[in-house]
């Protein structure tokens, strides 16, 4: 399946804000957004001064921001929106809840990976079990009561070991019960909107797709 393989920092610069796509690196002086906080391209600095945002462009940028945070392509994102729009409740909030429930995001939120990109790669390589069964599909949607475990053979993986060591420095959402010493996390509830701290205005995305 196609995927974006370009520089992650370029996406942050395009959206004009840090998306924290590289985990803790984004908090250091090595962060490219800190050094070049203007859009990429030869006209980056100039376009930032000249451009006038329209309603459509604002809505589009909000959608692109969410796609990039969760590492989705357009077809994947549209599929999630379609499912959210058919569900009972507030479409925008349901959309974000579904994205939070992706296995790769859950692994990241549990602190088992440094970033969502790293979590996605670890899931694809089969390092995790869901309810005792190996799952290597990043888009797999977890549900309340699911148990996510790191495979026995994967517990010596350097990236996973580093993540477990640094669990104490990470903020774990209330819908996850993490047992670092046992290399597992239990889904104790569903993600609440207030726990998604990213600066996202999901209503703009709903308005975009409603046209």
Q: What is the strand order of the sheet 128-130 is part of?
A: 133-134, 128-130, 147-150, 184-187, 176-179
pLDDT by position in tens, the chain (length 211): 445 555 555 555 555 656 656 555 545 565 555 556 556 554 455 555 556 779 998 899 899 989 988 999 999 999 999 999 999 999 999 999 999 999 999 999 999 999 999 999 999 999 999 999 999 999 999 999 999 999 999 999 999 999 999 998 889 999 999 999 999 999 999 999 998 877 889 999 999 998 7
C-alpha count within 13 angstroms, C-beta hemisphere, residue 48: 14
Residue 63, both tokens: 């959608």
Q: With respect to CATH, is domain 8-99 assigned 1.10.510.10?
A: no
- Domain boundaries defined on the chain: 8-99, 102-190
CATH class (in words) of the domain with range 102-190: alpha beta
pLDDT, position 200: 87
């Amino acid at each position: 399946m196609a995927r974006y393989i370009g520089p992650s920092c370029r996406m942050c610069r395009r959206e004009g804000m840090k998306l924290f796509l590289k985990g803790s690196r984004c908090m250091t002086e090595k962060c490219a957004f800190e050094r070049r906080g203007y859009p990429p391209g030869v006209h980056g600095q100039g376009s930032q001064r000249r451009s006038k945002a329209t309603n459509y462009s604002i809505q589009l940028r909000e959608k692109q921001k969410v796609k990039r945070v969760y590492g989705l392509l357009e077809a994947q994102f549209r599929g999630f929106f379609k499912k959210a729009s058919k569900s009972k409740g507030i479409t925008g909030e349901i959309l974000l809840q579904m994205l939070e429930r992706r296995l790769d995001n859950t692994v990241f939120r549990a602190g088992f990976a440094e970033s969502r990109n790293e979590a996605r790669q670890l899931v694809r390589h089969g390092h995790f079990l869901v309810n005792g069964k190996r799952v290597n599909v990043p888009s797999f949607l977890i549900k309340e009561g699911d148990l996510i475990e790191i495979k026995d053979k994967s517990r010596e993986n350097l990236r996973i070991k580093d993540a477990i060591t640094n669990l104490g420095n990470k903020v774990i959402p209330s819908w996850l019960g993490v047992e670092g010493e046992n290399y597992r996390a239990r889904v104790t509830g569903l993600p609440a909107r207030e726990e998604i701290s990213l600066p996202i205005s999901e209503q703009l995305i709903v308005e975009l797709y409603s046209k």
